[in-house]
Amino acid sequence: MPAHSNRTWTADFHTNPHTHYNNYYVTNKILIEWELSLIVRRIIDALSSCLAIVFDYTNTNLNI
């Protein structure tokens, strides 16, 4: 994507627009993917702990 069509350009674009934009984009993409993987892991952890509590409850109270 050329620099002039990028809405999130900053003041230091005059150095080298294309490499700056590419580095910025790649860094953001990596950060977003990393955050999403963290969120997914937290959701899985929460679900597994909920399942563990449910299984403990049924095992102790229903004597399965």
Residue 8 contacts residue 28 (beta carbons within 8 Å):
no
Of 35, 37, 38, 8, the C-alpha closest to 23 is 8
Element (H, E) at 46: helix 17-62
Per-residue pLDDT tens digits for 32-50: 888 888 999 999 999 988 8
- State residue 34's pLDDT score: 83
Cα 58 from Cα 50, distance rounded (Å):
12
Domain ranges of the chain: 17-62
- State residue 60's pLDDT score: 73
Cα 31 from Cα 35, distance rounded (Å):
6
Residue 20 contacts residue 11 (beta carbons within 8 Å):
no
Residues of the chain under the 70 pLDDT cut: 1-24, 61-64
- State residue 18's pLDDT score: 56
